[in-house]
Amino acid sequence: MNRDWFNQIVRSLGGKDFDGLEPADVFDLMFHLHDPRKSPMVLNPSVDEELIKGVPFYRKSVLFLEAIAEHEPVKLTATGNLPLTMCRMLVAGGVDRNREGPPDDYPIHSELDRSYLHAINTITNLAGLTRKQHGKMTVTKKCRSDLRKGAAIAIYTRLLRTYMIRFSWAYEDCRPGEPLIQSLAGYSIYLVHKYGAESRPTRFYANKFLQAFPHAKRAFAAKQGSLPEEEFWRCYSLRTFERFLCRFGLVEIQRDHEWRPTTETLKRTGLFDDLVKWRRGAAAGGSRVPVARRKWKGLDNVLQFKITLRHARPPIWRRIQVPANYTFWDLHVAIQDAMGWSDSHLHEFVIHSPETGIDARVGIPDDEFSLGPRVLAGWRHRIADWFTPENHAADYAYDFGDGWEHEVRFEGALPRDKATEYPVCLDGARACPPEDVGGVDGYAEFLRAISDPAHDEHDEMLQWVGGEFDPEHFSPEEVSFDDPEDRKQVMLFDF
């Protein structure tokens, strides 16, 4: 899908008034909300964490995660739900206490009797904070580290992004599954950003939404005494405000009646103002600058990249040059060899597609097991068709278990030196972490263990890594690059 196609759809469906936003901004809010490089809305990483800790849904999620960590591995039922004893313990601990749910003394026969608890279980699992495997549940290494550090922003933003993108909003009610309400969550956030400083009726926002997207009400049939607009308002208000923005502490809702309100108003909170930022376009008070696209035609050039391992402190990085006719598979092999990885796990690039206007996943396709967008075969796509001065960055993930995330930054095209054999590693800093060490947090713990002879795991870790490990050592002259075609044949044989 590209922006021209989106604009045609918008015009055909009657939408024309986006409250000051251009269609391209709405497109990015709909399809790029999760990508901080392209979304006009970004989350402030320096938000006051005390504001987050005051959000009931966050506190209950942390209570839930701490209980799982304390009792892990938690044996699940045959249907994959929490055992009854764990449910009762969590309810007694206040995890399920909320306005929507039944009284605390209401009988519990299964996790599904407590919809709020079930929602927390589902969302934390989708967010990668817990893992279900072989009928048991544990917290992930990253989650355990964040709980230990009290990293509220890390846990909160993972829950928030997961709820916006991966958790089905129609899952918790029996209303029509109108996808636009969730797909355009970013547009609703924009409306609250624009109008939420004053207390306004939730109907005001529903009408603004329908003004931009009048076809959204088509899924809602008229009922006795109410019009489709009325049914849409009830669903929109429930999903967008009560179960999303209010649940995450971003708006406050006032009602004239707790259970059967005839009027309800909302106002954005201090957390909203501190967390939600706008960086371009009408939402930020400016004008949008179109993105130019250009491809490198000269395949006799070499392309230069800087690869940085995200979240590693001090930084671990490499600078390489590769032939312009390389594919993503070839670039993957060069990254593996330059970094020092063993290429024994899956990998994936995520990069903005110049052709479609949305992110593409490039790696090893697996149609049988892939649950998300289709993965493009890396050996069929040439990097010179994707990397440009305007489209200069990609995400590169390796080992989905440990979760090694890299930034791949394109630094330009240069004439090929005929006396040089490519690819080549020009520069870099610090050793590559050992494979299967447990991600960035596990690597930090590993370094603490090998540097402290009194550490309980000092001898074991040194033996595991071969007797010695210098985290500061790296020499570009020691990098040796394999033939990508040979590596591909080995990979295809294994698969």
- Walking along the chain (495 residues) 10 residues at a time, the average pLDDT comes out as 53 64 80 72 86 94 94 90 90 70 62 87 91 88 88 91 86 74 91 94 92 82 70 90 94 79 86 86 56 47 95 95 95 96 91 78 67 76 90 92 93 91 95 92 93 91 90 94 83 54
CA atoms within 13 A on the CB side of 91: 25
Cα-based angle 173, 175, 178 (whole degrees, multiple of 5) = 110
Please state whether 381 falls in left (phi above 0), alpha (psi between -120 and 50) or beta.
Answer: beta
Question: Which CATH topology does 301-430+474-494 take?
Answer: 3.10.290
Residue 216 to residue 419: CA distance in whole angstroms: 62
User: In the prediction, which pLDDT does 10 show?
Assistant: 56
Closest CA to 412 of 434, 387, 432, 431: 387
Domains 49-165 and 176-284 share a fold: yes
Q: What is the pLDDT of residues 64-108, one digit of tens each?
A: 999 999 999 999 998 888 999 999 889 888 887 554 444 445 678
What CATH code would you report for 49-165?
1.10.10
User: In the prediction, which pLDDT does 202 show?
Assistant: 93
- As beta bridge partners, residue 35 has none
The total of other beta-carbon atoms located within 10 Å of residue 463's CB is: 9
User: In the prediction, which pLDDT does 291 show?
Assistant: 40
| Joined tokens for residue 216 | 């959204």
Q: Are 111 and 82 in contact (CB under 8 A)?
A: yes
User: In the prediction, which pLDDT does 133 show?
Assistant: 81
Single-letter residue type at 15: G
End-to-end CA distance of the chain: 31
Location of structure tokens 């009325």: 230
Closest CA to 299 of 157, 168, 218, 416: 416
Please state which CATH class domain 176-284 belongs to: mainly alpha
User: In the prediction, which pLDDT does 9 show?
Assistant: 54
Angle between helical axes of 56-71 and 84-92 (0-180°, round to 10): 140
User: In the prediction, which pLDDT does 335 show?
Assistant: 97
Dihedral angle, C-alpha 87, 89, 93, 99, nearest 10 °: 30
Displacement of CA 197 from its chain's centroid (Å): 28
Rounded to two decimals, the pTM is 0.58
The residues spanned by each domain of the chain are: 49-165, 176-284, 301-430+474-494
Angle between helical axes of 23-31 and 185-195 (0-180°, round to 10): 120
